[in-house]
């Protein structure tokens, strides 16, 4: 490819000033839709989601610590998921992603933990994941108060009692000098239907495996549809897979996590079937934040009736999800959550299928599908850092300009440059710059603006935006 320096002349500068008046979102909404993605999104079936969930909740429990040999327990449930994924399409490569874990919170002795993954091979090795956790838990009445999480946050917040202190009665508030009583050890084999937490995310991932495999589209990226174990014990299954991916240099480009995404009516009686929350770990312009903004932008194009509400935090207060395990190993991962939760129907026997709105769940599946399909067809995002991790952004040629450089992305036919005021949370402007690997904005102070660049293929599929941001200081210097 011919690499050229694009120095903006007065005429091009005038065009750039016009582009400043056009917001990114308006340009994105006006972009031509890929009819193949439209068909793929439309093929998500409410009926199949319901059929899958009816079967999944028929197992007495899917608790990771429960008896795996029981005919209605976690072992039988994961085998059914495995068999159903294989039955969905011959194009899917289905396997158990198995780990032996010596110590798992709430379990007795070593546990064999099995994630189930269905891989749809693409033209490249880079991977895009969608997941839900198939394990369930019944924590009893206290586990359903104030949205108490079974994930990583719950482990950190588990109360303890000081030696010699009087035991606290269940539900009794702690006195200032007496911590709450510890949770009793619970039987992992009691009923735990887990319809919404997280049967909803599990069947969403299973349905998308079918939809993508049957689409007939040849994706550039490899797609992985995963149902994860051990989330309620502290993100164990996702963490084990993330460590393996990092150790083996598996190219995890993006992870779409779905946990509690089926309920449209909250415990406060308010119904919202038209929005979904999307959480992403910072700091601003992190790969996860970029992925979240991308997912919102694509959803607005392909599922305009369903609004993605971006949340600039890792997850809900004192709660966790499997995407955080990926973040901890340096991967871009985001977490979808229903907009109105009903805490009384989580982590207990009341988490039944009547709390799931399948129209709402299908819409959330379509949002995931649109983002994944676009990302899997687009080139990988450009690299905008040098060998030492510094952004390839300078003030050349005048010393007062914004000069952007990036590395060519495989399969890119062109690039789109984004920019915004340094205080703004999302991109405000963009311009297509052609098939080049550098671009100059004259008289734009790089201290006052944030810049980014995305790769675009010949059909118009656009990658996530790679932002030019300085790495955090570690020496404490000025």
Q: How many CB atoms lie within 10 A of CB 210?
A: 22
Angle between helices 74-88 and 46-56 (to 10 degrees): 150
- 97, pLDDT greater than 60: yes
**What does the pLDDT look like over 55-84, one tens digit per residue?**
999 999 999 999 999 999 999 999 999 999
Out of 3-17, 270-284, 339-353, 377-391, which region has the weakest mean confidence (pLDDT)? 3-17
Read off the pTM. Answer: 0.87
Look at 226 and 173; give whichever has higher pLDDT: 226
CA distance readout (Å), 52 to 76, 92, 172: 15, 18, 40
Quick: pLDDT tens for 231-264. 999 999 999 999 999 999 999 999 999 999 999 9
With bands split at pLDDT 50, 70 and 90, how would you rate the model's confidence at 182? low
**pLDDT value at residue 30:** 46
- 363 in Cβ contact with 263 (< 8 Å): no
- Contacts for 420 with CB less than 8 Å, ≥ 6 apart: 426, 427, 428, 429, 449, 450
- Furthest-apart CA atoms within the chain: distance in Å: 80
How does the average pLDDT of the chain come out, rounded? 88
> Is a pLDDT exceeding 60 seen at residue 176?
no
Q: Which strand (E) or helix (H) includes residue 432?
A: strand 429-434
Name the token pair of 20: 């400043």
Instruction: Count CB atoms within 10 A of the CB of residue 183.
Output: 17
Pairing, β 222-228 against β 275-280: unpaired
Mean pLDDT, rounded, for 162-168: 40
Dist CA 315 CA 212 (whole Å): 28
What is the pLDDT at residue 180?
A: 57
pLDDT score for 476: 55
- Which tokens go with 66? 């429960």
Read off the tokens for 78: 């994961």
477/95 Cα distance (integer angstroms): 49
Residue 108 CA neighbour count, 13 Å, CB half: 8
What percent of the chain lies above the pLDDT cut of 70? Answer: 83
The pLDDT score that the predictor gives to residue 471 is 74
Instruction: Give 180's contacts (C-beta < 8 A, 6+ positions apart).
Output: 159, 161, 168, 174
Higher pLDDT: 284 or 59? It is 59
Find where tokens 């340009």 sit.
Answer: 27
CB 259 within 8 A of CB 132: yes
pLDDT in tens, 298-330: 999 999 999 999 999 999 998 999 999 999 999
Q: How confident is the model at residue 38 (pLDDT cuts 50, 70, 90)?
A: very high
Model confidence band, residue 108 (pLDDT cutoffs 50, 70, 90): confident
Question: Which pLDDT band holds residue 12 (cuts at 50, 70, 90)?
Answer: very low
Question: CA-CA distances (angstroms) from residue 205 to 52, 106, 178, 224, 279?
Answer: 11, 27, 44, 9, 18
DSSP class per residue in 269-314: S-B--SEEEEEE--STT-HHHHHHHHHHHHHHHH-TTSEEEEESSS
Question: What is the 3-state composition of the chain as percent helix, strand, coil, each rounded to the nearest 5?
Answer: 30, 20, 50
| Both structure tokens of 83 | 């068999």
Q: How many Å apart are CA 307 and CA 97, to the nearest integer? A: 34
Alpha-carbon gap, residue 467 to 463, rounded angstroms: 12
C-alpha separations of 152 from 116, 147, 158, 192, 234 in Å: 21, 13, 10, 19, 4
User: How many Cα atoms occupy the beta-carbon half-sphere of 306 within 13 Å?
Assistant: 24
């Amino acid at each position: 490819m011919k690499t050229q320096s694009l120095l903006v002349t007065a005429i091009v500068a005038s065009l750039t000033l016009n582009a400043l008046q056009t917001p990114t979102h308006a340009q994105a909404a006006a972009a031509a839709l890929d009819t193949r993605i439209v068909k793929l999104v439309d093929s998500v079936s409410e009926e199949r989601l319901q059929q899958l969930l009816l079967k999944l909740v028929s197992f007495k429990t899917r608790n990771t610590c429960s008896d795996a040999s029981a005919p209605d327990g976690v072992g039988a449930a994961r085998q059914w998921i495995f068999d159903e994924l294989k039955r969905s399409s011959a194009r899917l490569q289905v396997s158990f992603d198995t780990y032996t874990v010596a110590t798992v919170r709430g379990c007795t002795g070593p546990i064999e933990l099995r994630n189930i993954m269905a891989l749809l091979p693409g033209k490249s090795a880079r991977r895009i994941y969608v997941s839900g956790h198939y394990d369930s838990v019944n924590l009893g009445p206290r586990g359903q108060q104030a949205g108490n999480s079974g994930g990583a946050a719950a482990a950190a917040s588990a109360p303890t009692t000081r030696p010699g202190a009087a035991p606290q009665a269940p539900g009794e508030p702690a006195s200032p000098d007496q911590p709450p009583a510890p949770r009793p050890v619970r039987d992992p084999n009691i009923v735990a239907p887990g319809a919404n937490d997280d049967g909803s995310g599990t069947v969403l991932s299973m349905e998308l495996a079918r939809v993508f495999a049957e689409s007939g589209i040849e994706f550039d990226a490899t797609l992985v549809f995963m149902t994860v174990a051990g989330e309620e014990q502290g993100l164990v299954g996702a963490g084990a897979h993330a460590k393996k991916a990092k150790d083996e240099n598996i190219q995890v480009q993006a992870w779409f996590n779905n946990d509690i995404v089926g309920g449209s009516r909250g415990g406060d009686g308010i119904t919202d079937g038209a929005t979904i929350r999307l959480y992403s770990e910072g700091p601003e312009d992190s790969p996860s934040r970029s992925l979240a903004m991308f997912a919102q932008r694509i959803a607005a194009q392909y599922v305009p009736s369903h609004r993605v509400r971006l949340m600039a935090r890792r997850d809900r207060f004192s709660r966790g999800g499997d995407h955080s395990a990926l973040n901890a190993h340096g991967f871009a991962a985001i977490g979808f959550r229903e907009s109105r939760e009903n805490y009384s129907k989580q982590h207990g026997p009341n988490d039944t299928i009547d709390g799931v709105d399948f129209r709402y769940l299908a819409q959330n599946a379509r949002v995931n599908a649109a983002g994944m399909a676009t990302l899997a067809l687009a080139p990988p995002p450009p690299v905008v850092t040098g060998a030492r991790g510094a952004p390839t952004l300078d003030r050349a040629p005048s010393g007062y300009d914004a000069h952007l450089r990036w590395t060519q992305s495989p399969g890119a036919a062109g690039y789109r440059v984004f920019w915004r005021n340094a205080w703004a949370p999302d991109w405000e402007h963009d311009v297509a710059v052609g098939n080049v690997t550098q671009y100059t904005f004259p008289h734009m102070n790089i201290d006052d603006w944030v810049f980014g660049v995305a790769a675009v293929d010949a059909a118009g599929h656009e990658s996530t935006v790679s932002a030019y941001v300085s790495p955090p200081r570690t020496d404490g210097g000025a």
